[in-house]
Amino acid sequence: MIKRDWDIIVVGGGPAGTVFARYAAEKGLSVLVLEKDREIGLPVRCGEGVSMRGLEAFTPVNPRWICRKISAVNFYAPDGTLVDLDFKMEGAILDRCVFDRDLADLAAQAGARIYTHANVTDLILDDQVVRGVVVRYRHEDVKLSARLVIAADGVESRIARKAGIKTAVTPENMDSCVQVTAHGLDMNPDALSFYMKREYAPGGYVWVFPKSETSANVGLGISGNFTHKISPYKSLMKFLADTFPNASWSSLVAGGVPTDKTLDRITANGLMVVGDAARMVNPLSGGGIHAAMKAGKLAADTAVEALKQNDVSEEFLKRYAKAWHEEAGKNHEGLYRLKEVVNKLTDEDLDKLGHKMVAIPKEKRSLTRIFKAVAWNNPRLIMDVARAFSGI
Amino acid sequence: MIHIDHDLCDVCGTCVGVCPVDCISMSDTTLNIDDDLCIQCNFCIQVCPMEALKEETDD
Ligand SMILES: Cc1cc2nc3c(=O)[nH]c(=O)nc-3n(C[C@H](O)[C@H](O)[C@H](O)COP(=O)(O)OP(=O)(O)OC[C@H]3O[C@@H](n4cnc5c(N)ncnc54)[C@H](O)[C@@H]3O)c2cc1C
Ligand code: SF4
Ligand code: SF4
């Protein structure tokens, strides 16, 4: 049976939860991770693209996590114009099943306990302070107590709501995604490819992230604002038929990416919210692995102090919110504004952008130069981009 | 009422993340909507990537 009393209970066994658990357990705290799914790491609802630098910040990188190193970025404008950019940083496509499991393994090695098939259904509150969780485990609703609870429950983000934090995002800030892992592809296997055509992915984009010479994660995200016009599933099928007519796939998954601003409140008495649950995804790119790990680390730093001083009040835990805003919050808000601008671009705007970009010699292609070049002919855009960048 | 087509649903949680009244619950294998709490805003239908949700009118 699961032990009843813990220093910390973590809800969710994704990167945010397991990175948190590792850091907290290393400091000698008793940490329990509860994961509702049958196994950690599956299903993989992710394009698996990361920058190496982002990973290395948290853990020595095990080569078995990396499917493929990436050295270039290819943007396809709606009319097919290819804009290739050298990747300034080293990129990688992960094997997230192995990666997520190894993060769990590192947490376990540090002393954390992990249970799967353990669905947390409620929080235990006492005088507006979170004191534990109710977990559905093998047909039973089990009450567990903890000095601190971590909501690392991903896009659904139900746990924090039970402590009074509003986590629901509006459809315009939810990217509705479908992805296949496709095989037999004729593509550039060293590049992240992005297809910007609005016909396929309004308010988002199509990605092709290579996992081998001939296979890739091929997916798309459509802002909930546009899904009444086009269904993500049907749109991906159309993209595949148009672009890779001979492809087969070994997996098909759905998923949601919250591309909202980070929640105003990411703490309550006895509770901290981390990763996708706190809406920390990069709102422009939709990448969230790095942010989830960062949040896990920052929350663990505060958790260790809070338990040492025996103070889990929201007032104390706000140190974590402050650390997040100092390290990532400002940048995040700038990216959110930029997302709003980019979403407004039409196919014609994007084509023009593409033509301007290819006219710039490759070694000189940088985002700033590109925006300058486009803005020359498009006063509306220059205003919007200036607005978007003003906060960065 | 919102009808869930369980054959199409991938239990991905996207709909849960937009439900303003938190009336959608999930296990590892299935989705459930509490009709008594649902306010019929249809946000869930709007964001479902798999077309698994439909509005059902009682007749
Ligand atoms: C289609 C798609 C493509 C993406 N591509 C990329 C990409 O290329 N690069 C990138 O950086 N990011 C990408 N992301 C985003 C990235 O996957 C997430 O940001 C990242 O997984 C967030 O980590 P997390 O730990 O916060 O949440 P998650 O990894 O979602 O983990 C949350 C965990 O909590 C569990 N859980 C939820 N509720 C409960 C409960 N009540 N009880 C117990 N357990 C619970 C869930 O089962 C889940 O395992 C993509 C997302 C999607 C949907
Ligand atoms: S969004 Fe659609 S596929 Fe995902 S859990 Fe909800 S109903 Fe199922
Ligand atoms: S219609 Fe609105 S309230 Fe009802 S389940 Fe869907 S999102 Fe929730």
Give the CATH number for residue A210: 3.30.9.10
Question: Distance of alpha carbon A53 from its chain centroid, rounded?
Answer: 16
Q: Are A152 and A9 in contact (CB under 8 A)?
A: no
Give me the pLDDT at residue B48, please. 98
In chain B, what's the furthest Cα-to-Cα distance?
33
Over residues A147-153, the mean pLDDT reads: 98
Gap from CA of B31 to ligand 2 centroid (Å): 8
- Given the CA of residue B42, which atom of ligand 3 is nearest to it? 1
Instruction: Tell me, yes or no, whether A52 lies in a domain.
Output: no
| Cα A225 from Cα A343, distance rounded (Å) | 11
Query: Residue A372 — very low, low, confident or very high, per pLDDT cuts 50/70/90?
Result: low
**Is B59 a residue whose pLDDT tops 60?**
no
Q: How far apart are CA A276 and CA A292, in angstroms?
A: 7
Residues of chain A with pLDDT > 70, as a percent, come to 92
Q: How many CB atoms lie within 10 A of CB A87?
A: 15
Q: What is the mean pLDDT of chain A?
A: 90
Q: Where are the domains of chain B?
A: 2-55
A316: phi then psi, degrees, rounded to nearest 5: -70, -45
Domain end among A294, A314, A331: A331
Whether A103 and A196 share a structural domain: no
Helices (H) and strands (E) in chain B, counts: 1, 4
Q: Which of B22, B25, B41 to mutate to test the pocket of ligand 3 (most atoms within 8 A of CB)?
A: B41
A275 and A153 part of one domain: yes
**pLDDT number for residue B43:** 97
Q: Which CATH architecture has domain B2-55?
A: 2-Layer Sandwich (3.30)
Residues A141 and A213 in one domain: no
Q: What is the pLDDT of residues A221-250, one digit of tens each?
A: 999 999 888 899 999 999 999 999 999 999
Q: Do B17 and A168 touch (CB under 8 A)?
A: yes
Residue A387: predicted pLDDT: 40
A205 and A78 fall within a common domain: yes
pLDDT-derived band at A186, boundaries 50, 70, 90: very high
CB atoms within 10 A of CB A147: 20
* CA-proximal residue: ligand 3, atom 2 (nearest): B41
**Segment B11-29 mean pLDDT:** 97
- Say yes or no: A221 and A314 in one domain: no
Q: What is the DSSP letter of A187?
A: S
pLDDT of residue A388: 39
**Distance (Å) from the C-alpha of residue A244 to the closest C-alpha of chain B?**
21
Nearest CA in chain B to A220: B49
A351 CA to middle of ligand 1, Å? 33
Span A343-349, average pLDDT: 85
Q: Tell me what pLDDT residue A371 has.
A: 53
Give the range of the structural domain holding residue A195, as residue numbers without chain letter: 71-89+171-258
Let me know: does B10 contact B50? Beta carbons within 8 Å. yes
Residue A363 or residue A188, greater confidence: A188
Q: Which of A199, A194, A254, A202 is nearest to A223 (CA)?
A: A202
Chain B interface includes A184 (CB < 8 A) = no
Shortest CA distance to A281 belongs to which of A263, A297, A265? A263
Q: Check if A3 contacts B (Cβ < 8 Å).
A: no
Look at residue A346 and tell me if it is in a domain.
yes
What does the radius of gyration of chain A's CA atoms come to, in whole angstroms? 22
Residue A350 main-chain phi, psi, to 5 deg: -70, -35
**How many CB atoms neighbour CB A101 within 10 A?**
18
Asked whether residue A54 is domain-assigned, the answer is no
Which residue is it, tokens 């199509």?
A206
From chain B, the residues in CB contact with A154 under 8 A are: 13
Q: Given pLDDT bands bounded at 50, 70 and 90, which one contains residue A390? A: very low
Q: Are residues A192 and A319 in the same domain?
A: no
Contact B18 A167 (CB under 8 A): no
pLDDT band at A288 (very low <50, low <70, confident <90, very high): very high
Measured distance CA(A245)–CA(B11) in Å, rounded = 28
The pLDDT of residue A85 is: 76
Residue nearest (by alpha carbon) to ligand 3 atom 4 = B38
Q: What's this model's pTM, rounded to 2 decimal places?
A: 0.94
Q: Which of A173, A232, A178 is nearest to A201 (CA)?
A: A232
Distance, CA B23 to ligand 3 centroid (Å)?
Answer: 7
Boundary (domain end) residue, out of A195, A227, A258: A258
Q: At what angle do helices A347-359 and A367-377 cross, to 10 degrees?
A: 120
DSSP 8-class letter at B17: G
Rounded Cα distance, A192 and A208, in Å:
6
Q: Locate B55 and state its tokens.
A: 């509005």
| CB-CB neighbors (< 8 A) of A38 in chain B | 28
Q: Do B49 and A37 touch (CB under 8 A)?
A: no
Residue A370 has pLDDT above 60, yes or no: no
Chain B residue with CA closest to A258: the answer is: B17
Q: Please say whether the beta carbons of A224 and A170 come within 8 A.
A: yes
Q: What would the mean pLDDT of A85-92 be, rounded to a whole number?
A: 76
Residues with CB under 6 A from ligand 1: A 11-17, 34-37, 45-50, 119-120, 152-156, 177, 179, 219, 255-257, 275-277, 281, 286-290, 292
Do both A305 and A207 map to the same domain? no
DSSP E strand stretches across A233-354: 248-258, 267-268, 271-273
Look at chain A and report how many structural domains it folds into: 3
Q: For atom 5 of ligand 3, which residue has the closest CA? A: B38
- Written as six digits, the tokens of A60 are 């020595």
Instruction: Indicate whether A246 and A309 sit together in one domain.
Output: no
pLDDT tens digits, one per residue of B33-50? 999 999 999 999 999 999
Q: Does B28 touch chain A (CB under 8 A)?
A: yes
Contacts of A294-297 with CB under 8 Å at 24 or more apart are: A294/A57, A294/A58, A294/A324, A294/A327, A294/A328, A295/A16, A295/A20, A295/A324, A296/A15, A296/A16, A296/A17, A296/A18, A296/A19, A296/A20, A296/A21, A296/A23, A296/A152, A297/A19, A297/A20, A297/A23, A297/A58
Of all residues in chain A, the one with the smallest CA distance to B48 is: A176
Show which of A258, A287, A306 is a domain's final residue.
A258
A255 has pLDDT over 50: yes
The whole-angstrom distance between residue B32's C-alpha and the CA centroid of its chain comes to: 7
In degrees rounded to 5, what are phi and psi of residue A275? 75, -145
Is the ipTM here above 0.90?
Answer: yes
Please give the DSSP secondary-structure letter assigned to residue A326.
I
* pLDDT attached to residue A127: 94
SS3 at position A46: coil
**Is A39 an interface residue toward B (CB < 8 Å)?**
no
Element (H, E) at A329: none
Across B14-37, average pLDDT: 97
For residues A192 and A326, membership in a common domain is answered with no
Report DSSP letters for A115-146, one per residue.
ESS-EEEEEEEETTEEEEEEEEETTEEEEEEE
Nearest Cβ partner of A256 from B12, B25, B27? B12
